[in-house]
Structure 1
Amino acid sequence: MDTGTAASHAEESPLIEAIGLSKAYGAVQAVQDLSLSVHRGEILGLLGPNGAGKSTTLRMLIGFQFPDVGEIRLDGRNVFREGDTARFELGYMPEQLPLYAEMPVRSYLGYFARIKGVPSPRKSVERVVERLDLGAVIGRSCGNLSRGYRQRVGLAQALLADPQVLILDEPTSGLDPNQIHDFRELIRGLGRDRAVLLSTHILPEAMAICDRVTILNRGRVVASGTPRDLAAGDSALHWARLRTTVNPGDDDVGRFGLVPEGEAGVYSVQRDLTPEEARTLLGRIVTEGWELLEWHAGAAGLEAVFRRLTLGEESAAFGDGASEGTAEQSAPDPQDPSGAIADAPADPASRTREENGIENGPKAGQGSFFPKRGGRR
């Protein structure tokens, strides 16, 4: 993102805005005081280890779960007070796509266009089929599609209402390298005039297509910024690699923390270094009299920052081995008006729903992220 784009974003209201979101499942705090924003023309990557709170965050953003505390706005509209209108601007692609195996692609897309209340379902289907190059499989059953085409159909479903906001959950999961490249190009193109929030655990993907990333750990935001800035800050970790004519003994290898790379005389450092530690290591090796043929050191990148912020704490917030998904599965369903949450006005989530003008949430069986007809103002 260039300086001009960043300046224009500062003047615009974000298309996706979450303010102070918190969500607990009993004693388990899945998300705590989370805030983020995404502007038009921007792709934000949501990163975090298993159990960090990514899934809970996405479910709240699409209106599928209520936060205990906080507010969510899509294009300035409150997701819970103006749900149908707000969610008309939202296209959502889940990681597990709800494809009907026996249904042809054309029928599948037409079915979802009608559910979403798209004014001209046929034209909308034609538009997304052309945009995602689905013409060759338009008459094929969804169950007979390759993984790459299934992902394209899932993205086409998200684009049927021509939404201004796209939320994509692990969109390249299971694709081969060529399919990943093509899909990333699609996402880049879609992000030019929309706000895109992309949940991924693939760090190179975040580096490749995201303008900014937000890293979650134990339900909290622990870092946010451009991938370049996060990786190149003053405290960024470094790597080091060397080639030498010396044949070091085990003591020297252990003392300097080196790992043989399989090629004669080539070693790398087995831990992340600060810039000062990298310079100190080089000085010690030279002082020892090693003849160096090569020395390479540099910023370790987003992966090292991610590891430093999250390593070893994937499940700490969720008890002994529990995960975010486990906590969510054991919690009452906030979409079910007969469930415990809806019947307990003392519960913080219920208070939030009442404040938002929604006492019991969507009716059971009603997909909350599908708007009614005429949703867009």
Structure 2
Amino acid sequence: MDVVVENLTKSFGYQKAVDSVSFEVKKGEILGFLGPNGAGKNYGNIRIGKYSIHKNPYKIKQIIGYLPEHNPLYEEMNVIDFLDFIARVHNIPKYKIIPKVMDMIRMCGLDNEKHKTIRELSKGYRQRVGLAQALIHDPEVLLLDEPTTGLDPNQIVEIRELIKNIGREKTVIMSSHILAEIEATCDRVLIINKGKIVADGTSAELRNKSDKGKLLKICIQGGEDEDIYNELASIPELENIISSTPHRFEIQCERATEIEKKIFDICCQNNWYISEMTPVETRLEDIFRQVTKN
């Protein structure tokens, strides 16, 4: 189901964390949500498919799966018993519970851990159990809050792939302060600052809109660094030489500029040669700083 947010306002006291925000998330899309935390009064409307949070609040809760940042697991229970308990809480029919529990164990890669108590599990496997409990009632929409916090690099890759697989069939909204993880996992990124949406698009779209322009990392050999620097600085389209170390320069220019040919011509005229010329992608972290700096 699609998720539609209309004029949503969220405030505590006089502080508005979200101010008349509207956006839509399609089924099969993973949205990375970057913005402030907070809780308080709610205004506006959220629709999931044909259901409104005002008119159908209980139905909305039934079709949402939620993995909070601090996973509330019962540590003394083993994995199978915990998932059985969660299935009963969701009123899943008795005859469906065992097949559904085993389904989640298989999907979330918990087969070798299913008889262990939750306190015996690593952080990565606890997150898998958290995902299993969020999915066991087959929700249309999955909300993930910091799903990779505290995981080692291998666990992060495993959870990321699991989220991507889930996202093929469901609507996923994911929040994280690890911007590289949002970029690696999500189809689309939405950034909020001071309660307003300040950026919305794919990583590629946000890069194209970025004021940082095009970045190139180049290494030029055969000349003095000062001479090379001065020649590069004389190119009209070049906006900035961000850094320079012996023979190596990182330059910034307008995105539409074909500056590479001019650099090549300068090198030919001075009998220098280029040993490296690599485009540098603007990081999501840089874009986040840029759109939230004020």
Equivalent position of 2:15 in the other structure: 28
TM-score (norm 1): 0.66
Q: Give the alignment partner of residue 87 of structure 1, picking from 61, 73, 91.
A: 61
CA distance in 2, matches of 1:166, 1:84: 16
Q: Give the alignment partner of residue 163 of structure 1, picking from 134, 139, 142.
A: 139
CA-to-aligned-CA distance 1:336-357 (integer Å, 9 cap, x gap): xxxxxxxxxxxxxxxxxxxxxx
CA distance in 1, matches of 2:87, 2:288: 39
Question: Which residue identity does 1:248 align to in structure 2?
Answer: D
Equivalent position of 1:304 in the other structure: 286
Q: Is residue 75–residue 86 contact of structure 1 (8 Å, CA) maintained in 2?
A: no
CA distance in 1, matches of 2:289, 2:256: 19
CA-to-aligned-CA distance 1:306-364 (integer Å, 9 cap, x gap): 23212x35xxxxxxxxxxxxxxxxxxxxxxxxxxxxxxxxxxxxxxxxxxxxxxxxxxx
Larger deviation: 287-296 or 198-207?
287-296
Equivalent position of 1:76 in the other structure: 50
Equivalent position of 2:236 in the other structure: none
**Residue 259 (structure 1) aligned with residue 243 (structure 2):** yes
CA distance in 1, matches of 2:23, 2:121: 36
CA-to-aligned-CA distance 1:81-108 (integer Å, 9 cap, x gap): 3121111110001111112222222222
CA distance in 1, matches of 2:270, 2:185: 44
Deviation at 1:77, TM superposition (A): 1.2
SS in 2 for 1:157: helix
Q: Give the alignment partner of residue 186 of structure 2, picking from 182, 204, 210.
A: 210
Question: Which residue identity does 1:188 align to in structure 2?
Answer: K
Q: Is residue 217–residue 280 contact of structure 2 (8 Å, CA) maintained in 1?
A: no
Deviation at 1:230, TM superposition (A): 1.9
CA distance in 2, matches of 1:41, 1:257: 42
Question: Which residue identity does 1:259 align to in structure 2?
Answer: S
CA distance in 1, matches of 2:258, 2:214: 7
Equivalent position of 2:237 in the other structure: none
Equivalent position of 1:107 in the other structure: 81
Equivalent position of 1:172 in the other structure: 148
Q: Is residue 10–residue 17 contact of structure 2 (8 Å, CA) maintained in 1?
A: yes
Q: Give the alignment partner of residue 248 of structure 1, picking from 199, 219, 225.
A: 225
Equivalent position of 2:105 in the other structure: 129
| Structure richer in strand, relative to its length | 2
- Change in CA separation of 1:303 and 1:277 when aligned onto 2, cut-off 3 Å: farther
SS in 1 for 2:93: coil
Deviation at 1:163, TM superposition (A): 0.6
SS in 1 for 2:200: strand
- Percentage identity across aligned positions? 34
CA distance in 2, matches of 1:300, 1:217: 20
CA distance in 1, matches of 2:119, 2:217: 48
Deviation at 1:242, TM superposition (A): 1.7
CA-to-aligned-CA distance 1:34-64 (integer Å, 9 cap, x gap): 11221211111112xxxx32x34xx7xxxxx
Deviation at 1:207, TM superposition (A): 3.0
Equivalent residues in 2 for 1:178-257 (5 A)? 178-233=154-209, 235=211, 237-245=213-221, 246-248=223-225, 257=241
CA-to-aligned-CA distance 1:192-234 (integer Å, 9 cap, x gap): 1111111123333333332222111122111112222222348
CA distance in 2, matches of 1:173, 1:115: 27
Q: Is residue 11–residue 41 contact of structure 2 (8 Å, CA) maintained in 1?
A: no
SS in 2 for 1:295: strand
Q: Which runs of 5+ in 2 are unaligned?
A: 234-239
**Residue 291 (structure 1) aligned with residue 279 (structure 2):** no
Tell me the C-alpha RMSD between the 2 structures: 3.2
Q: Which runs of 5+ in 1 are unaligned?
A: 1-13, 60-64, 314-377
SS in 2 for 1:275: coil
Q: Is residue 88–residue 163 contact of structure 1 (8 Å, CA) maintained in 2?
A: yes
Question: Which residue identity does 1:275 align to in structure 2?
Answer: R
- Change in CA separation of 1:278 and 1:34 when aligned onto 2, cut-off 3 Å: farther
Q: Higher relative contact order by CA 8 Å / sep ≥ 6: 1 or 2? A: 1
Q: Is residue 118–residue 160 contact of structure 1 (8 Å, CA) maintained in 2?
A: no
Question: Which residue identity does 2:282 align to in structure 1?
Answer: A
SS in 1 for 2:82: helix
Q: How many correspondences in the alignment?
A: 282
CA distance in 2, matches of 1:123, 1:295: 56
Question: Which residue identity does 2:82 align to in structure 1?
Answer: Y
TM-score (norm 2): 0.82
Equivalent residues in 2 for 1:262-277 (5 A)? 264-269=246-251, 273-275=253-255
- Change in CA separation of 1:176 and 1:290 when aligned onto 2, cut-off 3 Å: farther
